[in-house]
């Protein structure tokens, strides 16, 4: 399958690229930083900004499916990359007759998401980081989810919880709409998304993805994802 990956040089995008190639797919990796990824057998690197409709159209042409892992750091400023980027992707897919789309959102989109036994997160971190610092990013994710749902594509919206890095794919869980878990390894998010290229279980549904076997420390995660990356909070995607 010819798979087009947007956000290919981000931390989740790299996992998507490697796992798609390992699964035998031909990959078009779309990035604004072409030097960050080296072409090799089965991989084509395309330079494009997801906010540029013509560049997105050119990248999607000839594809069979699209995986999108767009992500930005949380900020109080207005954020539009999720909705603008996915709007351009959806439009290009319509023009070229590409039907399968798997795009990253967040568990925060489901109001029922309250991980069991996570008192500190539910009462301190969630109100501070997700509901306040992450407000503009999550508002744009809601716009993005709405426009994807309104399309006639075979879409799946992937909803990870708190993203962290883990080198290998271990055990993880997928559920419709929401899952009871605080963390999602990027390797597991990518594995769940790549699996959807050949699985119709979550077509036209939201798919929550959580890690079940490994767990980072909350404070360590905040440091790596927020302080060390000069972001005010954990990244919500990408």
The pTM score is 0.91
Q: Confirm if 153 and 95 have CB atoms less than 8 A apart.
A: no
Coil, strand or helix: which one is 102?
strand
Separation between Cα atoms, residue 206 and residue 174, nearest integer Å: 10
Separation between Cα atoms, residue 113 and residue 130, nearest integer Å: 12
For the chain, list the domains and their CATH numbers. Answer: 2-227 (3.40.50.720)
Quick one: residue 62, left, alpha or beta (phi over 0 = left, psi -120 to 50 = alpha)?
left
Q: Confirm if 104 and 238 have CB atoms less than 8 A apart.
A: yes
Separation between Cα atoms, residue 186 and residue 32, nearest integer Å: 21
pLDDT value for 117? 94
Measure Cα distances from 97 to 51, 65, 66, 153 in Å: 20, 10, 12, 9
- What are residue 96's phi and psi, to 5 degrees? -100, 5
Q: Confirm if 22 and 11 have CB atoms less than 8 A apart.
A: no
Task: Kindly report, residue by residue over 30-43, the tens digit of the pLDDT.
Answer: 999 888 898 899 99
Terminal alpha carbon distance of the chain: 22
Residues of the chain with pLDDT under 50: 227-238
Considering Cα of 39, then 73, then 223, then 68, what sign does the dihedral take? negative
Coil, strand or helix: which one is 215?
coil
């Amino acid at each position: 399958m010819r798979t087009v990956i947007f956000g290919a040089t981000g931390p989740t995008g790299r996992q998507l690229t490697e796992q798609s190639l390992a699964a035998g797919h031909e990959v078009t990796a779309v990035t604004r930083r072409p030097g960050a990824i080296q072409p090799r057998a089965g991989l084509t690197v395309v330079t494009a900004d997801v906010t540029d409709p013509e560049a997105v159209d050119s990248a999607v042409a000839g594809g069979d499916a699209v995986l999108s892992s767009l992500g930005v750091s949380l900020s109080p400023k207005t954020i539009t990359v999720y909705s603008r980027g996915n709007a351009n992707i959806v439009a290009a897919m319509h023009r070229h007759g590409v039907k399968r789309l798997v795009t990253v959102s967040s568990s925060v989109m489901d109001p029922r998401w309250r991980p069991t036994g996570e008192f500190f997160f539910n009462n301190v971190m969630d109100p501070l980081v997700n509901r306040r610092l992450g407000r503009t990013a999550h508002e744009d994710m809601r716009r993005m989810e709405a426009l994807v749902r309104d399309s006639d594509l075979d879409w799946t919206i992937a909803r990870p919880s708190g993203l962290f890095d883990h080198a290998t794919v271990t055990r993880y869980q997928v559920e419709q709409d929401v899952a009871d878990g605080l963390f999602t390894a990027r390797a597991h998010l990518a594995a769940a998304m790549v699996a959807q290229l050949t699985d119709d279980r979550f077509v036209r549904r939201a798919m929550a993805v959580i890690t079940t076997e490994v767990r980072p420390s909350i404070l360590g995660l905040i440091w790596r994802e927020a302080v060390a990356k000069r972001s005010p909070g954990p990244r919500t995607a990408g």
